[in-house]
Amino acid sequence: MTDRIDPETQEMILQFVQKRIDLIRAGDRAGLDQTYVELDLKRRNPYNSHDYDWYLNLIEEGFGEKTQRIDIQPCKHPDSLPFSGLVTVPWAPDYKVFIYTVTDRRTLWMIRMFDDGPKVVLPAFGGKTADQVATGVWQLPLPGEQIEDATTILEFHPEKFTADVVESLRLSLPVWQRLLQFEKIRALVLDCFPWYGQCWIAFLTNHEDFPEEETGKWDIGDWRWGEATEISLNLLELLRKYYEGKTVTDTDLTLQERADVIYRCLAKALQHPQITEIIQRFDLADDFEIAVFDPDHFDRGNFCGQQ
């Protein structure tokens, strides 16, 4: 077993990745060519130039969007190289770098460390490769598989997270509208516990069995449908990692401040016009409300309406 990627190498790779992204966005072809192994570019000829154009276009596209995540994986054995059995890689890469943008586009850059810094290595194409070469689809770990010594750099973008919550609600709420069609709905809450990586969609109906006169309307834990369903699992994983400071976003904030960012995103999603339209399909009680609370500081009030 080898050591994890050392911080200095990791930082060098991250700076190199950002430099390439900046060059792509600036349309600097000459500068971008300098980030590739020179001999690899010289392998282009009239018979394979279309393959290189195709490949370079794929690995240089999509960076107008923000970067969400970067996975750095060491290439320690020949069988761990990308494209095994498809094409040859004259310069064996030291690292495979998977870059994800907020649009969920994934791109694979193979990087080798030289004396003058990192360079992207290119395959020697024979003209019979497919899109999966550039996207690295077969290089992804199997479900439950752990990649030894891999490093993940994860970012949290509030606007993207909010949009994804909206999409999760858009898919879930119509199902519950049918299930609860014979009940009046008094409240719809996103009940979030960032420290547990949980966020429940909760409903208060007119058929409850808890002492509301003693505990109040918002005793969510005693609602019949206080844990109706959760938002999507990938969002739960992201919000927990963001809250715990395991992303590279807002690391200077406190746990409470990052929790507040999450609550505000959830409140914004719950008030989105698409979600409002779906909510109107429910049989709503006269005292119906939507809400997002801080479960540890309930006295701070409802985040819906605090935007």
Domain boundaries, position 44: 7-154
Q: Is the distance from CB of 189 to CB of 291 less than 8 angstroms?
A: yes
Q: pLDDT at position 80, please?
A: 52
| Confidence check: pLDDT of 126 > 80 | no
181 located within any domain = yes
Average pLDDT (279-302) is 94
- As a whole number, mean pLDDT of residues 5-34 equals 94
The whole-model pTM stands at: 0.72
Q: Is residue 102 a part of any domain in this protein?
A: yes
Split at pLDDT 50, 70, 90, the class of 1 is very low
Helix (H, G, I), strand (E, B) or coil at 277: helix
| One domain for residues 171 and 282 | yes
pLDDT of 11 > 50? The answer is yes
Pairing of strands 95-101, 67-74: antiparallel
Same domain for 117 and 20, yes or no, is yes
**Where do the DSSP E strands lie in 219-283?**
225-230
Distant-in-sequence, close-in-space partners of 22: CB < 8 Å, separation ≥ 6 = none
Are 258 and 271 found together in one domain? Answer: yes
Walk across the sheet containing 185-193 and list its strands: 225-230, 198-205, 185-193, 284-291
pLDDT at position 182: 92
Instruction: Please give the Cα distance from 102 to 63 (Å, whole number).
Output: 10
Q: What is the mean pLDDT of residues 66-83?
A: 77
Mean pLDDT for 240-268 is: 96
pLDDT digits over 166-180, tens only? Answer: 999 999 999 999 999
The pLDDT of residue 96 is above 80: yes
Q: Is the model's pLDDT at 139 over the cut of 80?
A: no
Degrees to nearest 5, angle at CA 253 with 251 and 257? 130
pLDDT higher than 90, residue 112: yes
Give the lowest-confidence range in 80-94, 113-127, 232-246, 285-299: 80-94
Residue 1 lies in a domain: no
User: Does any domain span residue 96?
Assistant: yes
Angle between helices 255-270 and 233-243 (to 10 degrees): 150
166 and 287 part of one domain: yes
Answer whether residue 223 is part of any domain.
yes
Any residues with CB less than 8 A from the CB of 176 and at least 6 apart, and which? 201, 203, 228, 229
pLDDT band at 305 (very low <50, low <70, confident <90, very high): confident
- In the prediction, which pLDDT does 152 show? 81
Residue 131 has pLDDT above 70, yes or no: no
Out of 154, 179, 207, a domain closes at 154
Percent share of the chain, pLDDT over 90: 65
* 162 and 126 inside one domain: no
Q: Is residue 48 part of a domain?
A: yes
**Whether residue 64 sits in one domain with residue 119:** yes
Query: Of residues 169 and 307, which shows the higher confidence score?
Result: 169
Give me the mean pLDDT over the 178-203 stretch: 95
Residue in the block written with tokens 């399909």: 281
Last residue of a domain, one of 133, 154, 175: 154
* Average pLDDT in the chain: 87
